[in-house]
Amino acid sequence: MRRWALLVVLVALLGPACGGGGGTTTSTGGCTGKVAGGPVTVKAWFHSGQGSERTTITSQVAAFNASQNDVKVELVLLPEGNYNDQVKAAAASGGLPDILDFDGPFLYNYAWNRNLVALDSCISPALKANLLASIVKQGTYAAHFYGVGTFDSGLGLYTRKSVLAKNGIRIPSGPQDAWTADEFNQALKTLQGAGFNKPLDLKINYGQGEWYTYGFSPIIQSAGADLIDRHNYQSANGVLNSSAAVQSLTAFQSWFKQGFVNFNVDDTAFLKGQSAISWVGHWVFADYRKAFGDDLVILPLPNFGKGSKTGMGSWQWGITSKTKSVDAAWAFINYLLKDQQVLQMTGANGAVPATKSASAASTQFAPGGPENIFVQQLESSAVPRPQTPAYPTITLSFQKAINDVLNGGDVKAALDKAVKDIDTDIKDNDGYPVKT
C-alpha cells in the first residue's frame, strides 16, 4: 500500500506556498451538535487507490446513508494518479467538496491556506482520547484539530527469528530495546558473512519520493536532529545540517559503501531470501507473513543515540471551508471512526487502526499480536512530519539530500543545500505567519 508517488505529485502541485497568502487557525463556523434543515446532502472525495479500499469506502457510504435520514453522502472516487491535480484545481476555483480525503502530512499547508475547517467543536473528548497519539499529532496545526484518519502507518525492520538466532544476533523486545547503530551495523556484517550478500533491503526501488522522508528521517531524529527547528518552524539551519544529522546519515551512507544494501529492483529481495532485513512499512506484512509465517518478526528501527524513532502519518479526512453544513460532514466522519468501521477499513488495507479500542479488538494489533509493535511505536516513539505549511519544500529538499547521500555524495554538503532551500522558502513566504 504505497502512496509515495502520490505525495511527489502533491509536492510538485503545492509548491512552496500552495498559492497561499497568509493563514489562519480559526475557521468560520464549526459543529453545533445538530444537523439543521435536513436531509442534507454532502459530497465526499476519496482517492481511488487499491481496490479493497474502494470497495470498503463504497460500502461504508451506503451503510451510513441507510442508517439515518439526516445526511446523505455522495461519494466521488477520483483516480489516484491525478487526484491532487483535481484537489488543487478545486481549491483554486472554489469547487472543493464538503469532505476531503488527503494525505495527512499536507494538512498543514491546506489549513494555512484556509481550505479546512477546524474540528475542535466537532470531535468529542472521549473520541479524541481514544485516538492513537500519532493521529492526534498529525491532525493538529497551530493548536487546532483539522484532520482525522481512520488508520495510521507503521514502520519497522522485518526479519526472521530463525536467521537471527542462527547467527547469534540479539532480538530486541520492543522500541525501548532497539539495536544501537553499532549493533545494527555489526548484525549486517554478520549476516553478510553468513551468506546474505546484500543483507539489507531499504526499498530503494520505491525511488526518490516521500518514502525517503517517511522511511529515513527517523534516522536523524533518533540521533537528536530533525528536518526543521520545531520551536518556531522558521529555519532548518543547525538542525537538519547539525553534527548529529551528519553523523547518522554518514552511518546510513556507510551501509551502501560496505555493500550491505540490496537495491531490490524487482521488490522481492526479502521474499526470495536475498536480504535478511527489510526496512519498510505495514503494507508488506501480509505478503511477508504468507511467505514466512510465525518466523517473521518486526523490530524497531536502530537507535542512533536518542532512542529509536519511527515514521507515522497516512490518509486523513477533513471538512473543507466550502461546506454549508459542518455538522452533516462531521456526522459521516464520526461514523467512519466507530470501531466496526475502522476495523473494516484496516482489514481491507492492512493499516494500523486509528483508535485504541479498535487496535485492542484486532488480533493483528492487540498486545501480543504480530503487528502490535506498530501501535507501541505510534503511542511512544513516532515523530510527525513537520507541522508547517513549508512541509512540501521540506520533504522535497530532504529527498534530494538522501538521494545525494546514498549515491556517495558529501553528506554535509547535501544537508546544507537542503537547509538553504528550506530556509529560502520560509523567507519567501514571510515565515508562513499564522493569523488568528
- In the three-class reduction of DSSP (H, G, I as helix; E, B as strand; rest coil), residue 181 is classed as helix
Q: Domain end: 249, 273, 299, which one?
A: 299
Helix 51-67 vs helix 339-349: crossing angle, to nearest 10: 160
Q: What gap in Å lies between CA 11 and CA 67, rounded to an integer?
A: 38
> Which residue would you say has higher pLDDT here, 85 or 305?
305
pLDDT in tens, 425-434: 999 999 999 8
Same-domain status, 32 and 46 = yes
The answer to whether residue 209 is domain-embedded is yes
Structural domain contains residue 418: no
Instruction: Give the C-alpha separation, 367 to 369, whole Å.
Output: 5
8 Å CB contact between 368 and 183: no
- Give the per-residue pLDDT at 86: 83
Which DSSP helix (H) or strand (E) runs through 369?
A: none
Cα separation, 18 vs 10, in Å, equals 10
pLDDT 10s digits, 271-289: 999 999 999 999 999 999 9
168 plus 72 within the same structural domain: no
Q: What pLDDT, on the 0 to 100 scale, is given for residue 436?
A: 58
Would you say residue 435 has pLDDT above 70?
Answer: no
Examine the domain organization and report whether 149 and 163 are in the same domain. no
Higher pLDDT, 87 or 422: 422
Whether 260 and 173 share a structural domain: yes
- Average pLDDT of 59-72? 97
Residues 91 and 208 occupy one common structural domain? no
Do residues 281 and 162 share a domain? yes
Q: How many domains, the chain?
A: 2
116 belongs to a structural domain: yes
Specify if 417 maps to a domain.
no
Distance of CA 72 to the CA centre of its chain: 30
CATH number at residue 125: 3.40.190.10
Q: Is the pLDDT of residue 371 over 80?
A: yes
Q: How buried is 279 (Cβ within 10 angstroms: 0-12 exposed, 13-18 middle, 19+ buried)? A: buried
Q: So what's the pLDDT on residue 105? A: 85
Task: Output the CA torsion 132→136→139→142 (10° steps).
Answer: -160
Full domain range(s) for residue 183 = 155-299
Q: For residues 235 and 357, state if they share a domain.
A: no
| pLDDT tens per residue across span 385-405 | 999 999 989 999 999 999 999
Average per-residue pLDDT for the chain: 92
Mean pLDDT of 216-243: 98
How far CA 349 is from CA of 99, 287, 342, 382, 417, in Å, comes to: 21, 12, 11, 21, 37
Q: Are residues 142 and 194 in the same domain?
A: no
What mean pLDDT comes out for the span 168-191?
97
Q: Give the mean pLDDT of 189-199.
A: 98
- Shared domain for 26 and 101, answered yes or no, is yes
List CB contacts of 182: < 8 A, sequence separation 6 or more: none
What is the predicted pLDDT for the residue at 405?
Answer: 98
pTM: 0.91
Same domain membership, residue 277 and residue 215? yes
93 within some domain:
yes
Whether residue 3 lies inside any domain: the answer is: no
Within a domain: 406: no
Q: Do 130 and 193 reside in the same domain of the chain?
A: no
Query: pLDDT digit string (tens) for 6-50?
Result: 344 344 334 433 333 333 333 347 999 999 887 999 999 998 877
| Predicted local confidence at residue 41, as pLDDT | 97
**For the chain, percent of residues with pLDDT exceeding 90:** 85
Classify residue 334: in a domain, yes or no. yes
Higher pLDDT, 2 or 212: 212
Do 149 and 160 lie in one domain? The reply is: no
Listed residues 355, 380, 405: the one ending a domain = 380
Q: Which of 267, 299, 331 is the last residue of a domain?
A: 299
